[in-house]
Structure 1
C-alpha cells in the first residue's frame, strides 16, 4: 500500500466557511484509473466530504475551528478492497470573527527553561494567561499525529520528561469555561532533545595490591562525567573457561569487591550507561587480572643470634624471615660432624645446641604447604664450633634515626643494642669511599651522632667488645648511608591505559606518579624494537602522549631526578607496549552465490573476513581428490569456477594481510556437488 500525498491551496491553515481546495496525488504509475474519497476528522468523529469518484480535487468548507485531520482513500476501479492507498494530514481551522471580537488573548506568553535539553531532563512548560479561569489542554506531536498529554484544566503548567532524541513540538489549546467552542485559542512551541555529553570510561583499575585466591578483590571505574549525571554500571566476570558471571547488575556503584575461589586468569567487563539512555550501554571497558594461589615464596633473611665461631654446647637460635605463601613450612638440615634433619615443620626458628666441634653448613628450605616439589627457596649459612668456652657477645639490633637516603648537614643517630659478656664497650668507625673518615674509640656509650658534611656513600662499622676479651671485637656489624644534597626523586607508579591491543595511530597515554613533584624533572626515552627514536630530555611534564605510526615493540624509559641532581638520574622505570599494524584476521567465510551448481555453468565463490589490513585471498580447489591452486594471493575476494564434469568438489580460501610475511592468517573451506 502506497501513501497518498495531500496538498491544500492554503498553507495548512484556514478559517471557518472559507473555501479550501484539497488535492490528492498518488505516484505516476499508480495514479491511473483511481477513485478518491475525502473524509474530515474532528475530535475522533469522521465525516465524508466527497465520496469515491475519479476527481482527485475536492472543495471543503470547514464548519468548526480547531485541529482537523483530512484523510484521503484511493482505490482502483476494479479493486475489491475498501481502499488501496491512504493518506492523512492535519489542518488548523481558526474562527476569524471570534479572533477579531476577542479584545484580549487568553494566552499571553509561553515560558520554557531553554530550547535544548538532554535525554532524561525534566522540561517545564508554563503558560502565562490573561484570564484566571481559563482552561488549558496540552498535546505532543508523535509519529501517529497529535497525542494528548493532559485534558482541559486550570493548571497552566506542564512537566514533561525528555525520552527521545529529536525535535519535540508541544501544542497548547485554551478556552474559557463558558465557551461552547472546543478551542478558543492555541499555540505551539518547539525544542530539541539531544544525547548530552558522550560517556567514556577513562580509568578502570584493581585497587587490591596482591590478587590472591579467597582474598577480597576491589575494582574501581571512573568516567568522564561529573557526579550530577545519573550513570549506571554493570560488571561481568569472564573466567579462564570463557564462562561469564554477572557480578553486579546495573547500579550506581562504581566500586565492587568479590573473592575468587580458584586461581587463574580472569577478565572483568564494565558496561556503563546513562540512567535514561535507551541503549544497552554507552561505553564499556575490560580489565585482565591474574589470581594467584598465594604470594611468591622467598627467603628475605636467614640469620643466627650469635656470630660464628661459638663454643661447643652453646645454644644458637637460627631465624628465617620468609615472605609469601599461605601456610609456610620450614626444613632445617645441618651438615657437619653431627648431622641433623628436622623435616618440614611450621616453626621459622631453630634452636641448635652443637654437640661436636668442627665446620657446619646450616641449610634451610621453605615452601608452601600446597607445593608438591622439594622447596621454593633455599639459603645456607656457614657456622664454626670450636673448643673455647666464652660467654658470647652479640649485637641484638642497630637503630638509626635516618633511612638509607640521608641529607648533608642533618645528624644521624646510631644506637646499638647488644647483650652477653660482662661489661661491654662500643666503638664506631665511619668510612667514605673506602677510606676511614673518623673513629669513636671503645667506650661505654652505645650511641653516637654522626653529621655528614659531604655527599657520598658512607659505611659505619659498629663494634662491641667484652671488657676482658683479647679480640679486636667480639661482635660487629655495618650501617650503610647514602648521603645527598637533596631527597632523591622516586617514581612510585607508571600509569598506562588498560587496553588489550594497541594499533597504529592509537593514542598511548603514559603518566608518571612521583614524589616531591615540584623538585623533580622527568625524561622520557622512546625506543621502537630496541632503537631509540625520541629523547625528550628532562622536562616538567608528568604525562607523555604519542601516536605510533608503525608497528613494533615500543619501550618507554622514564628517568626521574631531583633538580639538584648533577650526575645521571635518581630513579628509572621502564614499560613496553606492543603496537600492531591491524587486528588479526578472523571469521573468514566463503560461500557460493547460488545453491544448485551444474556442469558447464559458472559459479562464483565470495569471501568475507573481519580484521586485517589490505586483506589478500588465495583460492585452492579439490577436484578428483587433488588440491590445485586456482587463484594466487590478490585483493580479489571472489573466485569464479566452471565445472566440466559432475562430482564432489571443495574450495579452500586462505586469507592474510598484505604486509604479513606468513603463508596465511585465517582460512575457510566449502564443499559442493556438481550435477
Structure 2
C-alpha cells in the first residue's frame, strides 16, 4: 500500500463554524475505502468522533464548532480485506479572523532540519536525534512518539535540542518534534516528523547443553553449561528450572546472564534440567529452550582394585598374615573377609581395609573378600557389589616366617651421579638369613650380588637415569628362589635437584586492590637455583617472569580476583622444564567484606494494616546492596531484589509471627551474599 497523505483546502489555523474540505491522497485510489475522524480537544486523551464512515469517497467536509487544536485521522482499508492503515494531521481552529491573520503573519519555519544517525535499527539499539533550530531564536522543543492510539510524550518542552531514544518494539517508529519560541503562548509553532524502522534481533538458539561434572553423585557439585548461537555483543539471559522424578519443578536460577549453574542433589534419582534463554530486550517469555536429563547416583560403582597379602604362599601354622584391600568407588565402604578351609572364619561386614589372619591348622585355604557400600540394598542372595579370592597353602612348620622389616637408604632423594648410595636391610624370621641385591637401569640388569650374610650394599651410579634395586632375602634351609623380596627406586641426575622449602607471603589477612603482595622463596643450594614466577588472575595467565636468580617477587594488584602464583625452580644445569613447582593463591578484594549487617525498626508495637519500615545498616563493602525476604505462615517470599535501597516498608494484613531476612553484598561481588541477618516480629490486632 502506498503512502497516505492528508490535505486541507484552508491553511491552519481557521475559524469556527467555517467549512473545511479534507482530502486523502494516495496512489491506490480505486481499491480503497476511506473513513474520516476528528480528535476533539478535551481532558486527557483525545476523543475520536467520526466525520464520515467508510466509503469510496476520499474527500469530506468538516465544520468545527469550537476553537482548539484538533487531530484529523484518515483510515483506509482495502475492499478485499479488513487491513487498516491510518494517517494523522493536526489542525487549529481560532475564534476570529484577526487572530488567524496575526498567526499567519508571524508564522515561519523554526525547525531548520533534523539529524539522525540511521533510519534502520535492531531492537534494543539507541537512536540519537538532533534538532537544528532557527538561528537567533530562543526555542523550546517537545518530543512525542506515535503510540497504539495517539501521540505519547517522550520529553516535554525544554531547551534540549537532542534526544536519545531506546527502541523497545519492532516495526515503523514515528517521532514528532514540536517547537515554539521561549516566550510564545502557543501550544506549538512548528513541527517535523522523523520515521525509522526497527527490526527484530536474529533468532536465539541453544546450541549446546552439557554437564561439566565428571561424576554425577549425591551431595557433590553438579555443573551445567549452556551455549547459544549469539556473539558476545548481545546480552542473553538464562533461566534454569529443575524437575525431579515426581514432576516437581523448582526454579534454581531466575533470568540472569550466567550461563553456567552449579548445585548439588541430596537424593539419588533421575532429574531433568530445563533452560530458558532470551535476549535482554526480548518481549517474549523466552526465545528458545532446551532440557538435559541426568541421573544422580549415590556413589561411584565399587570395584576391588587389588587384594593382596604381605607374605607369599605357602606359610606355616601360627604365622600372622596381613591381607589388604584397595577399592575404587563407593561412599562409605564395608569389607567382609571369609576364610574357607580346615578352620573357617567370617568377619562379617566391617570398615577395615586390613585383615590379619593367623591360621590354626595346615591345609588348603581360600580367602574371600566381599565389598559393598553401607547404603547398598541386597538383591536376592547377592549381598555384595564386588568380590575377589586368594588361595593360600598353610604348612606345619615351627620356624618363624621370613619378613623384611625395613629398608634404610643413606639419602631419601636427590641422587647424583658418581655419589655412593648405601642401602641396608632389616629382616627377621627363619633360622639363618641370606641377602642378595640386583641393580636394574631402564629395566636392564646391571649388577647382581650372590646370596651372602652381608645385609648392606654400597651402590655408586656412574650414569644418570632411572634405577631399580631389588632386595631378596632367603632362609638358609629354604628351597625357594627367595622367601621375600622388595624393590626401591632411584632417579639419578647429573646435578642436585632444586628444592623449595618455603614460600613466604606478607602477613595480611585481607588483600585489597593496590596492596603489595610480597613473595619470598626459600630454596636449598640457593646460588645454583633459578626461579620462575607465573601470575594468574582468576585462572588466566597475566605475567611470566621467565627463570631468574631473584628469590623475591612483588605484585601490586590493580583488579580484584583470585591471584595464583606458580613458582618453578630448577638447577642451572637442569635440561628439563623445571625441577620442582609450588603454588600459592591469595584473594584480592575491591573492598573489605560486608559485615555486621543489622535490622532496625522504630516502631515499638506492630499492628495489622499499619506500615512498618525496616532499616538496614552494615559495615565494610563497596556500593552495598540489600535483598529482603519475609516469612509469613512458614513460607519465605522475596519482597525486594538486590538494590542500594537500604530499607523496606511492609504492610501486614494479618496477625501472627513473622520473620524478615536481609542479605547484603557489595555491588561488584559475584556471590549470592556476603552477610545476612534476620529478625522475628509479631503483628498484633
TM-score (norm 2): 0.53
Q: Partner residue of 2:473?
A: 465
**Contact 1:428/1:440 (8 A) holds in 2:** yes
Evaluate the alpha carbon distance shift between residue 24 and residue 223 of structure 1 in structure 2; reply closer, same or farther with a 3 A threshold: closer
> Is the 1:39–1:46 contact (alpha carbons within 8 Å) kept by the matching residues of 2?
yes
Q: Which residue of 1 aligns with 2:390?
A: 381
* Residue in 2 that maps onto 1:173: 178
Q: Is the 8 A contact 1:67 1:90 kept in 2?
A: no
295-304 or 415-424, which deviates more: 415-424
What does residue 89 of structure 2 align with? 91
Do 1:65 and 1:92's aligned partners in 2 also have CA atoms closer than 8 Å? no
Aligned counterparts, 1:13-24, within 5 A:
20-22=21-23
Instruction: Name which of 266, 282, 290 aligns with 2:271.
Output: 266
Residue 361 of structure 1: how far off its partner (Å): 1.9
Unmatched 5+ residue regions in structure 1?
74-85, 400-409, 481-675
1:366 to 367, 371, 390: 371
Q: Assess, with a 3 A threshold, how the Cα gap between structure 1 residues 144 and 312 changes in structure 2: closer, same or farther.
A: same
Structure 1 SS opposite 2:321: strand
The residue matched to 1:168 in structure 2 has which SS?
Answer: strand
Pair 1:344–1:38, CA change in 2 (3 A): closer
Assess if the C-alpha contact under 8 Å between 2:226 and 2:259 holds in 1.
Answer: yes
- How far apart are residue 276 of structure 1 and its match? 2.1
Instruction: Tell me how far apart the structure 2 counterparts of residues 37 and 167 of structure 1 sit (CA, whole Å).
Output: 23
Question: Which residue does the alignment assign to 1:106?
Answer: 110
Q: Deviations over 1:25-65 (max 9, x none)?
A: 9999999xx9x987575684889989999998445699999
Number of the residue aligned with 1:420: 427
User: For 2:292, what is the secondary structure of its paired residue?
Assistant: strand
Confirm or deny that 1:305 pairs with 2:315. no
> What SS does the corresponding residue of 1:380 show, helix, strand or coil?
strand
**Whole-angstrom CA distance in 2 between matches of 1:192 and 1:419:** 91
Instruction: Give, in whole Å, the separation in 2 of the partners of 1:280 and 1:306.
Output: 70
Give the direction of change, closer, same or farther, for the CA distance of 1:51–1:120 in structure 2 (3 Å limit): closer
Change (3 A) 1:163 1:222: same
The answer as to whether partners of 1:463 and 1:473 remain within 8 angstroms in 2 is no
In structure 2, what is the equivalent of residue 288 of structure 1?
A: 293
Q: Which runs of 5+ in 2 are unaligned?
A: 77-83, 93-99, 410-416, 490-685
Aligned pair partner of 1:207 in 199, 212, 217: 212
Shift of 1:226: 5.0
User: 1:28 and 1:469 mapped to 2: Cα distance?
Assistant: 125
Measured in 1, the distance between the counterparts of 2:10 and 2:260 equals 58
Q: Is the 8 A contact 1:49 1:60 kept in 2?
A: yes
Distance 1:125 1:283, change over 3 A: same
Return the offset for 1:417: 9.9
1:317 aligns with 2:322: yes
Distance (Å, rounded) in 1 between the aligned partners of 2:6 and 2:243: 62
1:432–1:54 Cα change, 3 Å: closer
Q: How does 1:132-531 map to 2 (within 5 A)?
A: 133-225=138-230, 229-369=234-374, 370-372=376-378, 373-386=382-395, 387=397, 389-390=399-400, 392-394=402-404, 420-421=427-428, 425=435, 427-428=437-438, 438-441=446-449, 444-445=456-457, 462-465=470-473, 472-476=481-485
Question: 1:565-604 maps to which residues of 2 (within 5 A)?
Answer: none
Partner of 1:118: 122
- Give the 3-state SS of the residue equivalent to 1:464 in structure 2: strand
SS at match of 1:281: coil
Report the equivalent of 2:72.
Answer: 69
1:173: how far off?
A: 0.9
Q: Deviations over 1:57-105 (max 9, x none)?
A: 44569999987414699xxxxxxxxxxxx997423569999899778x5
CA RMSD of aligned residues (A): 5.3
- Cα distance, 1:19 vs structure 2: 7.4
Q: How many residues align?
A: 448
SS of structure 1 residue aligned to 2:306: strand
- Relative to the length of structure 1, the TM-score reads 0.54
